[in-house]
Copies of this chain bind each other. A is one copy, B any other.
Amino acid sequence: MTFSLLPIGRVRGGRVEPIDDNWGSVEATIVLDGGLPEDSLAGLLEFSHIEVVFIFDKVDETRVVTGARHPRGNPDWPQVGIFAQRAKARPNRIGITTCEIVSVSGRSIVVRGLDAIDGTPVLDLKPYMHEFGPRTAVRQPAWATELMLGYWH
């Protein structure tokens, strides 16, 4: 049984190529579909951050990985399952990123630090509430920390 999801909008601006690193200072605009009322964004600017849910639509569905692989193909890192990494070529091709809200105007939201390229379909937006972050201490493997070293900066 599948679910048919209709994008609520698109990413406009920002990068046009999916480069791996240095996303932190990239600004882009999320433009809502014209069928959605502007008041769907009422009060959003009282939050500093938003979670953006999007589809990596440029990933060829035949290249989706369902098992394990080296993150970024790097043999120095262990083979880990697709659900133990955040790679694009994953079942359902969903990406989720928490980014800063710069401004909101009409049906547009300018965000900073969204790692999705120009044209990316957006499925949902959720305000970041600190209570929805981890409620206990976070632990992660060394490979993940190494991979993320240059991701934002």
**Chain A contacts to B: CB under 8 angstroms:** 1-8, 24, 36-37, 39-44, 46-51, 53, 55, 57, 66-68, 78-86, 90-92, 94, 96-98, 100, 113, 121, 123-141, 144-145, 148, 151-152
Contacts and interface: CB of A to CB of B under 8 A. Distances in A.
A62 B130 CA distance: 30
Nearest to A50: B83
A127 B84 contact: yes
Contact of A96 (B53, B90, B130): B53
A42 to B, nearest CB: 4
B121 A3 contact: yes
Contact of A66 (B40, B84, B113, B131): B40
5 closest Cβ pairs, A-B complex = A43-B80, A48-B139, A131-B148, A46-B141, A42-B81
Contact of A144 (B50, B83, B129): B129
A1 B5 contact: no
